[in-house]
Amino acid sequence: MLSPDQRKWQRHWHEVFDAALGPDGPPGRPLPEDIDTDFRLQFELWDLSAEARAQAFSVFPRAGEMLARIDAHRSAPPRAIDADEAIRILRNGLKLLHKLDIEAPEPDAAIAVLDPGKLSLQDAFSKADSPFIEFHDVLHDMALRETGEAGKDAYFFLSEPLYRLAASYPVAHWICWPLCAPAGAADASESEYRLWQGGWSSGWSEEGVFLFDRREEFGLPG
């Protein structure tokens, strides 16, 4: 069930889409009752101009900060990072989660570097979660504390449209971070975002913490 704010935002986004891209489907068609089934909401954001996208975001708390992150992501040149840098970034991210009292592996735990030539991504993650999984689970609570009900609702509203930017939740979480913390606060979304940008995914299983090398898959040969 959509909150009143989310229903209002949904109508606003469709109005922006109609004005910028033309109406979708026959007139008078009711909007989907659930954000998860509103595929226009999820996919057409990235067909908008920067000006129209800013208009769509104007209804959210911290809109300017999130738009700045979208622009930064879209303009950042791809750059692979090596295994040593990936390990350092991951350890720093885990240290910050512990400082925030968020459950995560120990920062000084052994970190295995997995070779995609010897193990598939699917097999590597078949029994593993992200080391940041508990962080993912508390982001909406952080948004509620920082920007109120509107921030929490915006976090859920934006989750899938932002995922579609790069088919990546680390990217979506990084863009939404301004909803979750004041300006200048240590950014707990940064490490996972930087790993993704550099061609790595991190995992956590009963066997320990690992990094999976995706640089070739992402067109970022190491």
SS3 104: coil
- Residue 30 above 90 pLDDT? no
Residue with structure tokens 């090596």? Answer: 82
Give SS3 for 114: strand
Residues 164 and 206 in one domain: yes
pLDDT tens, position by position, 196-213: 999 999 999 999 999 999
Verify that 44 and 135 share a domain, yes or no: no
**What is the residue range of 8's domain?**
4-59
Tell whether 164 and 203 lie within a shared domain: yes
Domain match, 142 and 189 both: yes
Tell me if residue 215 falls in helix, strand or coil.
Answer: coil
pLDDT at position 27 is 73
Shared-domain flag, residues 108 and 204? yes
Mean pLDDT score of the chain: 95
State the Cα–Cα distance between residues 48 and 44, nearest whole angstrom: 7
State in Å, rounded, how far the first CA of the chain is from the last one: 45
pLDDT digits (tens, 9 = 90+) for 44-66: 999 999 999 999 999 999 999 99
Residue 161 placed within a domain: yes
β-sheet with 208-213: strand ranges across? 111-114, 208-213, 200-205
Q: Are residues 40 and 126 in the same domain?
A: no
Domain for residue 66, yes or no?
Answer: no
Q: Do 207 and 167 reside in the same domain of the chain?
A: yes
Q: Is the pLDDT of residue 85 over 70?
A: yes
Phi first, then psi: give them for residue 165, nearest 5 degrees: -60, -45
Is 72 a domain residue?
no
Dist CA 96 CA 92 (whole Å)? 6
**Per the structure, how many domains does the chain have?**
2
Looking at residue 180, what is its pLDDT?
98
Domain identity same for 101 and 165: yes
Q: Is the same domain home to 130 and 203?
A: yes
Residues 89 and 190 occupy one common structural domain:
yes
- On whether both 109 and 179 belong to a single domain, the answer is yes
